[in-house]
Structure 1
Amino acid sequence: MEASKVYYTSFKTSGSENLLQKLRRLCITAGMKNIDFEDKYAAIKIHFGELGNLAFLRPNYAKVVVDLVKECGGKAFLTDCNTLYVGSRKNALDHMDTAYENGFTPFSTGCHVIIADGLKGTDEALVPVDGEYVKEAKIGRAVMDADVFISLTHFKGHEGAGFGGALKNIGMGCGSRAGKMEMHCSGKPAVDQSLCVGCGACVRICAHDAPHITDGKAGIDENKCVGCGRCIGVCPKDAVNPTNWNASNLLNYRIAEYSKAVCQNRPCFHISLVCDVSPNCDCHPENDIPIIPDVGMFASFDPVALDMACADACNKQPVVHGSVLEEQMQHVHEKDHFHMVHPDTNWESCVEHAEKIGLGTRNYELVRI
């Protein structure tokens, strides 16, 4: 397959151009204005950040994209779907409160926020995709009602998928609560009770009452567990681990197929900002220090090529002193930063499967501007 163009610019600025102006120039150079936005609804998929997390993208970046859509005659809105787990974005009201508190108001971004799967995460469109693992994706209805789809992604690590790039932002992010359950359901965690201290973090984070504390140790009821993996991320002793070692691959395959369901049959454009590269997802109510220095801003019509370009750029970066990545290097020695941070994950499976199903290509040409 012919290489897809991925456009890139660093975070280095001059007195004549700031970062927001660079992002605008990047989007225009990459061809965003070639999309027909006239009188079209444009969904801009972004992560608003869990309350307490400060690694999410600043709303200033979103305004650049919104302004470009409006200049082209489009009707823009920022969107995301509700979370499967307990947190500050588990229903539309809490989700919008969180978005506003984190700065994503109509006054700062120039457009409204719409939670795509409705009040309780049940407003979904069933989208035929006929994949190997997903036959009918459950996508937030507002996402599918839009004429044009734009992903604006904070590129970072992820405890389940390896990293959270464009495909993760699109596939998992646009899934309704039932869709998220479908993507997560193949792997269910278990507790190493020799490491467990009975702190109850897993109990507090679970939306399905699966973890329980008995005689000072946690256990997980597999009949209630949906396999979302939140307990894995919050355990302070790394006592909770997946029992299905293929779960990461299956999760990524389904993310790829959900991404195809979102992007097929309409104009799409994708932007990824590789900054504040935290080891975990912005879904966490906290963020650790970045694992690598800030890299730059990337844009492409091909989300697969975009993720590959971002991953390759990240793996060329030095390790930030004091980061989780530096700590992991004492135990794991690999060239891949994301696999070192989360050794049980395999991010390559997502881009490989996305290429296989025709969503894009891993072969890219990096165009520096």
Structure 2
Amino acid sequence: MNQADVYFARFDSKEDTKYERMNQLLQAVQIKEFLKPRDIVALKVHVGEKGCSTRMDPKLIAEAVKIVKSCQALPFLTDTAVLYRSRRSNAVEHCLLATEHGFNVDGVGAPFIPSDGLLGTHEIMVPIDGKYYREVPIAAGALETTSIIVFSHVTGHLASGMGATLKNIGMGYSSRKGKLSQHSNMKPAIKKSKCTDCEECIEWCPEGAISNPDGIAVIDKKLCIGCGQCLAVCRFDAVAFNWGVRSLELQERMVEHACGLVKKKKNQLLFINLLLQVTKDCDCLGDAGKPVIPDYGALASTDPVAIDQAALDIIKQETGSRLGDFAYPSIQEDHQIIYAEKLGLGTRHYNLIQV
């Protein structure tokens, strides 16, 4: 049985040595082996929504930037536009927010350049053989780079159950069209008995799909894009999703988009999972909440399936519970990993190498 190598450096976010440990992890995975002078190297990150205090530490990313530069390659930080109303929904505000959060030349040593253009529409269609798609739209900048180092902050997620490498490349590297397609079956509903008519969901809906003609919010399913923003901002549990089958399908659609990137950039990808400040929700929320488990360190691998499986396994081994028990218990968060292995993106069997 083939196994993938997954490297694990144990440290916590309060240690003074965490940056040294990150450097040791990157050296152990032999990052320099696939870097050449003048290579254009993307470092895929998530700069965090405004107000998110548990976002990834840009100084950890800086350790990778130093190594890339030492190879005389050209590093840049990147991400793509989101669907919902946010400062990350267009390249101008996204770059400004990245600068405010330290993801810039001064803070990290490399510029932040979105991979999907000004409005998230710069894309390249990649043929795949999936259940839902025969081709998927991937951010063009991702395919134009020489190689990619994907940094993922492991968290829970209100739709996929887990946010880590597969989500970061499947959702995070698809164009807006790809994100819309992935969420096409995630249509929320309003619980009339709990709606207080506060109008928060109306204010934040990016498509104007919510109104309150009779003092109760109503969602126009034809206009709704399934982005989940209404669920994120509602403080009264008045927004409902049927997570069961819908979450499983979303995870599969997400993985099929990840397949497009892995297919085109095979042998040019390195994945880093940060098991630090793991929260119930992802960094897309202004307040993702307090960490739900202790900090454990970081993982590195060239296999996107193995590294996510290893992250879940470490959480289970250390806490005795699955990630979903701390986040969204009704969601099968490992379905995305199982499906990714089925599509040939990697293997769930791995050799854990302590750094």
- The TM-score with structure 2 as length reference comes to 0.95
Which is further off, 154-163 or 258-267?
A: 258-267
Q: Deviations over 1:72-115 (max 9, x none)?
A: 23211110000100011110001011101111111111111111
How far apart are the structure 2 equivalents of 1:287 and 1:37?
A: 38
Partner in structure 2 of residue 363 of structure 1: 349
Partner in structure 2 of residue 202 of structure 1: 201
User: Are the counterparts in 1 of residues 197 and 216 from structure 2 also a CA contact under 8 Å?
Assistant: yes
C-alpha change, 1:211 and 1:12, in structure 2 (3 Å) is closer
Partner in structure 2 of residue 111 of structure 1: 110
How far apart are the structure 1 equivalents of 2:4 and 2:163?
A: 20
| 1:6 is aligned to 2:6 | yes
Report how far residue 12 of structure 1 moved.
5.6
User: Are the counterparts in 2 of residues 202 and 231 from structure 1 also a CA contact under 8 Å?
Assistant: yes
Partner in structure 2 of residue 271 of structure 1: 272
Q: Deviations over 1:279-317 (max 9, x none)?
A: 101011122111111111110111111001111112234
Q: Deviations over 1:229-258 (max 9, x none)?
A: 222222212221224631111111111111
Partner in structure 1 of residue 247 of structure 2: 248
How far apart are the structure 2 equivalents of 1:57 and 1:90?
A: 19
> What secondary structure is seen at the aligned counterpart in 1 of 2:75?
strand
How far apart are the structure 1 equivalents of 2:103 and 2:223?
A: 35
User: Are the counterparts in 2 of residues 248 and 344 from structure 1 also a CA contact under 8 Å?
Assistant: no
User: Are the counterparts in 2 of residues 245 and 344 from structure 1 also a CA contact under 8 Å?
Assistant: yes
Which is further off, 1-10 or 229-238?
A: 229-238
Unaligned runs of 5+ in 2: none
Report how far residue 2 of structure 1 moved.
0.9
Report how far residue 207 of structure 1 moved.
0.7
Counterpart residue type for residue 311 of structure 1: L
| 1:353 is aligned to 2:339 | yes
C-alpha change, 1:366 and 1:161, in structure 2 (3 Å) is same
> What secondary structure is seen at the aligned counterpart in 2 of 1:138?
strand
User: Are the counterparts in 2 of residues 188 and 244 from structure 1 also a CA contact under 8 Å?
Assistant: no
C-alpha change, 1:18 and 1:185, in structure 2 (3 Å) is same
Partner in structure 2 of residue 141 of structure 1: 140
Which is further off, 17-26 or 98-107?
A: 17-26
RMSD: 1.9
| 1:98 is aligned to 2:84 | no
C-alpha change, 1:265 and 1:120, in structure 2 (3 Å) is closer
User: Are the counterparts in 2 of residues 24 and 64 from structure 1 also a CA contact under 8 Å?
Assistant: yes
User: Are the counterparts in 1 of residues 190 and 217 from structure 2 also a CA contact under 8 Å?
Assistant: yes
Residues paired across the two proteins, number: 353
Report how far residue 340 of structure 1 moved.
5.1
Partner in structure 2 of residue 332 of structure 1: none
The percent of aligned pairs where both chains have the same amino acid is 35
> What secondary structure is seen at the aligned counterpart in 2 of 1:217?
coil
C-alpha change, 1:248 and 1:67, in structure 2 (3 Å) is same
How far apart are the structure 2 equivalents of 1:345 and 1:77?
A: 35
Residues 1-369 of structure 1: pairs in structure 2 closer than 5 A: 1-11=1-11, 18-243=17-242, 245-266=244-265, 267-318=268-319, 335-339=321-325, 341-369=327-355
User: Are the counterparts in 2 of residues 175 and 258 from structure 1 also a CA contact under 8 Å?
Assistant: yes
Partner in structure 2 of residue 329 of structure 1: none
Report how far residue 13 of structure 1 moved.
9.9
> What secondary structure is seen at the aligned counterpart in 2 of 1:312?
helix
Unaligned runs of 5+ in 1: 320-334
How far apart are the structure 1 equivalents of 2:243 and 2:302?
A: 34
How far apart are the structure 1 equivalents of 2:13 and 2:238?
A: 44
> What secondary structure is seen at the aligned counterpart in 2 of 1:309?
helix
- The TM-score with structure 1 as length reference comes to 0.91
